[in-house]
Structure 1
Amino acid sequence: MDVTIPTSAGSIHGYLAVPQPEVSGDGPWPAVVIVHDAFGMSDDVREIADRFGTAGYFALVPDLFHRGGFVRCVQSVFRQLLAAKGQAFDDIEAARQELLSHPNSNGKVGVAGFCMGGGFALVTAARGFDASAPYYGPMPRDESAFDDACPIVASFGGRDFGLRGAAAKLDQLLTEREVVHDVKEYAGAGHGFANRLPVGPFAPLMRIAGLGYDHDANQDAWRRVLTFFATHLS
């Protein structure tokens, strides 16, 4: 359902998926903030939220592009991601607080993000969340972002030419800091392997370029995320 999220700079739009008692029991339930990719509040990210809802999680997607036109917002939000500060981080924190305030919350909130959102999921792993699930997110410039990080389950594509070596680097950084983690690179998958985007006839070209949906990789990553979240958000 479409919702409004109060933030430090006025309210923004969001999308909330709620567990169904007949499937997930009467609660209380854990929650997940989902950070969208550069396509914004697409049908794809809403479907991902619904999938978390069906799995027994409150799932809230804050619209980080709420405050302006698409091009201006993409540029602004990416700059904030690279700087590891700014209104986008305040909006993500507002979404976390909104979930914590729900009367049927169990007090545990994870974060999941895709592409740009995966970068936010990495940076915010040490900012109050109880578990983080970044999908092919760009690595933070400042490695201290992983100091005191929550448990992280991360997924990358081996054919993601823009993030070569990111999985191995993240695994190394988390191992050095003794952060509980599960990092996996899917050899045959590319960037965006967990996102069903309306690319139509361009799908073959995207696969050649190391982009696009991969069913097997997506299904395995989803299984890993649910297992990991069940451990750390229950």
Structure 2
Amino acid sequence: MSKILTIIVVVIVAVGVLAGGYFSFSPPIEQRADTPNDESSAAAIRGEEAAYYKDIKGYLATPGKNGTYPGIILIHEWWGLNDDIKELADRFANEGYVALAVDLYGGKIAANATSAREFSGEVRNNIDEAFSNLRAAVAFLRARSDVDKNRLASVGWCFGGGWSYQMAVNDLGVKGSVMYYGQFDPHDDFEHMRASILGHFGEKDTSITVDNVREFQAKLVTANGSHEVYIYPNVGHGFANSREGTNMAYSAEAAELAWTRTQEFLKKALEE
């Protein structure tokens, strides 16, 4: 998927191993005094549909307090832009971000794995349209008066995790990309990449093996940015999505740890 552009690369990646089976490519992150959640609203967040690309509508969640905030592009799982992703957008807004949850399915939501496979396959067969959709999301946030256009990031889960990774690899205007158990190719050319990457992966994930993740970690050493990759013991694919108790892979402990690490990573990646 990656589009290649030759650019001189500066490597600023540190390598470390954390206790308990979690692996990281960056040193511990210090808390900023002026983090986004320090600015988060005392008032209730605002959530609404937002047309951002052609006739496609995403879900926009904003802090209730007036101000200028970092912008986050959220990319859904293979189920589509459902209530789970909208709730996550609300949660990011509560942390002090303007969050746009995009829709790569054009309004379709999968009712089962068969339709999810069909919809995600349609996107893979027309990646130029998906890239146009994501570029439009970046432009939408940059045009808003409540968004600091120089402080944008992306977060995606599963199918969306792969696309969050693509936003980094193809330099779509984000400073940080978070991928929850998203697909990647360790053989991708990272010369075009300027964003830092945070990856969350499950040790028991059968679709993305630990060996593949470690190969990905090693490749990130060659890339521009400050990257972190974590492998969560004894959990599988989809460990961060509770789906109202129906997802057997869900791990509350791993999900909350990943959320905390995501917030810390974004604060660092979006430093002014």
Note whether the superposition's TM-score is higher than 0.5.
Answer: yes
Greater fraction of residues in helix? 1
Among 200, 208, 219, which residue is 1:163 paired with?
A: 208
Matched, 1:51 2:95: no
Among 185, 189, 212, which residue is 2:235 paired with?
A: 189
What percentage of residue pairs aligned between the two structures are identical? 29
Among 119, 122, 133, which residue is 1:91 paired with?
A: 133
SS of equivalent to 1:33 = strand
| Larger-Rg structure | 2
Q: Which residue identity is paired with 1:119?
A: G
Q: Which residue identity is paired with 2:243?
A: L
2:22 is aligned to: none
For 2:88 and 2:57, how far apart are their aligned partners in 1? 17
Deviates further, 144-153 or 98-107? 144-153
Q: Which residue identity is paired with 1:99?
A: L
Matched, 1:219 2:259: no
Contact kept, 8 Å, 2:80 with 2:108, in 1: the verdict is: no
Q: How do 1:58-69 residues align onto structure 2 when only pairs under 5 Å count?
A: 58-66=98-106
Among 41, 53, 60, which residue is 2:81 paired with?
A: 41
- 1:134-180 CA-to-partner distances (Å, cap 9, x unmatched) read 00001137511564231111100001011002321221111122431
| Structure ranking higher on relative contact order (CA contacts 8 Å, 6+ apart) | 2
Matched, 1:16 2:60: yes
Q: How many residues align?
A: 215
Distance change (3 Å), C-alpha of 1:174 and 1:146: farther
For 2:193 and 2:81, how far apart are their aligned partners in 1? 30
For 1:232 and 1:69, how far apart are their aligned partners in 2? 32
Among 106, 111, 131, which residue is 2:154 paired with?
A: 111
For 1:55 and 1:36, how far apart are their aligned partners in 2? 19
Deviates further, 108-117 or 170-179? 170-179
Instruction: Give the deviation of 1:188 after TM superposition.
Output: 1.4
SS of equivalent to 1:15 = strand
Q: Which residue identity is paired with 1:49?
A: A
RMSD after superposition: 2.0
For 1:223 and 1:229, how far apart are their aligned partners in 2? 10
Extract unaligned runs of 5+ from structure 1: 207-211
- TM-score by length of structure 2 reads 0.73
For 1:221 and 1:146, how far apart are their aligned partners in 2? 27
SS of equivalent to 1:60 = strand
- TM-score by length of structure 1 reads 0.84
SS of equivalent to 1:222 = helix
